[in-house]
Structure 1
């Protein structure tokens, strides 16, 4: 089954990790470092996007609501509908902070910041 934009609804996480993420202006904003799963609702909490650092040192991660990512075949990556300003102002986390309180702190802050309808309501 395919989505409205023509990509399939199922994809292995291993194919998603490492994929580039772009804003609507076509600028590279980072790559998908991981995908955080909600083990109690069988949903995807958020994509973990790496935005910087050098050789993994000092890198901060952003939690982007999974429903906000749209795959663009032409770019070979995901596009998010957020401005550069929204992305720069977004909360960022260390790897350990992403899983605090079972990931709910990062999840809730992300969905609120980007004004995305929560999947868990």
Structure 2
């Protein structure tokens, strides 16, 4: 599909490069990686990063949708940083990798509400 320069610019990144990118907490401890992203069909805005946690903290490898605005790209670690405490992840909305839920407004409100954020009105 071409080299890295064709798929990434200073400001933009190809979705295939986002998938698999490591996710860290603010202390630079790896939490997991991005399994995929969920993009609003009409606005084109990325709404969620779905993170896969591979057995950390006894969680297993379920998928955790995290509001995209909670992530910050950190060039020093070459990945995304999210400020979520470990104990907060144990009760976070999640699903088994083979049981993708319907991303309805109701489901979205539950995710955003869990993290104390207002659900976006697109």
TM over 0.5, shorter chain: yes
Distance verdict in 2 for CA 1:110–1:8, change over 3 Å? farther
TM-score when normalising by structure 1: 0.76
User: 2:110 is matched with which residue?
Assistant: 109
TM-score (norm 2): 0.76
Structure-2 separation of matches of 1:81 and 1:44? 19
Q: Which has the higher contact order (CA 8 A, sep 6+)?
A: 1
Structure 1 position 109, deviation (Å): 2.2
Long gaps (5+) in structure 2: 1-8
C-alpha RMSD of matched pairs (Å) = 2.3
- Kindly name which structure, 1 or 2, has the bigger radius of gyration based on alpha carbons: 2
Unmatched tracts of structure 1, length 5 or more: 1-6
In structure 2, relative to structure 1, the CA distance for the partners of 1:50 and 1:23 (3 Å cut) is: same
CA offset at residue 96 of structure 1?
5.3
Q: Displacement, 1:38?
A: 1.3
Q: Quick check: 1:34–1:49 contact (8 Å CA) kept in 2?
A: yes
